[in-house]
Amino acid sequence: MKANLIKALSSLPESLQCHVLPIISKVDFKGVIHTDDVDLLQLHSALETPELLLSLLPLAAAYSVAPISDFNVGAIARAESGNLYFGANYEFTNQALFNSVHAEQAAINNAFSHHESAILDVTVTDSPCGHCRQFMNELHCAPTLSVNLKATGVKSLATLLPDSFGPIDLGISESLLAAQPVNLTLQQENDSSLVQAALQAANTSYAPYSHCHAGIALETTTGKVITGRYIENAAFNPSLSPLQSVLINLNLAGFTLTDITAIILVEKAETRMSHAQATQVLVSDMGIEHYQHVYAN
């Protein structure tokens, strides 16, 4: 992944390249540019915020995994904190297309994984599809959210998604990035650090419609633990599964599917849906032998 980032660096304006290189070269770089570095990039490039974000898009697109479409999409979510969160599309060979993750979903998942409370705008290499517009509409900041496109400039999400359908239409007052955590406990005690990490992810997931809170923790060959959380959507289909979430975070951390040694899914028991079967199908296809499904109440 570092090689892809370095290659993408050459697409940036020369005024940015030497200042971006130290940021993306950090060992722990995971597709996040923190606000202090953003300020420095603006200072040295003399670019306004929308132009700076558009200039950085090749770096986000460098994370794209698109073996089916060969169409690399990058997105950057700018949080209220000033941090920038990269995202890119992610596709699964030999699996149904509905498993694919869109770049806008990945960027918002990145911000969600870092516990951001609001997103100001999303910058994308290409116009967001209806699926992504609906996904962004789940954000509590959706009424003020802007979308930044090279071809057409900055537009409000409300302009891109008129007469929208969202949480309030289903009688839900909480929304993405503003929902309170839950307090699930395991049905059977388990002191495994990987299980506990998955439980914590489940407790901070977003599932106001099904209440099937779920989280996944995986371990890599280096011993790194990475988590992902379920993100539900009022339109149901645009929801992001905990497995999709954790694999996006795995990719941003510079790992591949072959680096996974174990996966734990923790989800709430006795709900009207489950992530277990869908997770099992993908995990089996990835050839991961150490997979465990754990219930919590």
Q: What is the DSSP string of the chain?
A: -HHHHHHHHTTS-HHHHHHHHHHHTSTT--SEE-HHHHHHHHHHH---HHHHHHHHHHHHHTT-B-TTT----EEEEEETTS-EEEEE-B--TTS-GGG-B-HHHHHHHHHHHTT---EEEEEESSPPPHHHHHHHTTBTTGGG-EEEETTTEEEEHHHHSTT---GGGGT----BTTPPP----BSS----HHHHHHHHHHHT-B-TTT---EEEEEEETT--EEEEE-B--TTSTT-B-HHHHHHHHHHHTT--GGGEEEEEEEEESS-S--SHHHHHHHHHHTT---EEEEEE-
The pair of three-digit structure tokens given for residue 284, joined into one six-digit string: 């089996």
The pair of three-digit structure tokens given for residue 76, joined into one six-digit string: 């950057």
Does 102 belong to an annotated binding site? yes
* Chain-centroid distance, C-alpha 111: 7
> Could you say which of 104, 116, 219, 232 is catalytic?
104
Does 48 belong to an annotated binding site? no
Q: Which amino acid is at 23?
A: I
Does 183 belong to an annotated binding site? no
Residue 90 φ then ψ, to 5°: -140, 120
Does 206 belong to an annotated binding site? no
Does 132 belong to an annotated binding site? yes
Does 141 belong to an annotated binding site? no
Nearest one of 182, 196, 167, 190 to 268, comparing CA atoms: 182
Reply yes or no on whether 48 is catalytic: no
> What is the distance between the terminal CA atoms of the chain, rounded to a whole angstrom?
38
Strands 119-124 and 146-149: parallel
Residue list, annotated binding site: 89-91, 102, 129, 132
Residues with a catalytic annotation lie at 104
List binding-site positions for substrate.
Answer: 89-91
Binding residues for Zn(2+): 102, 129, 132
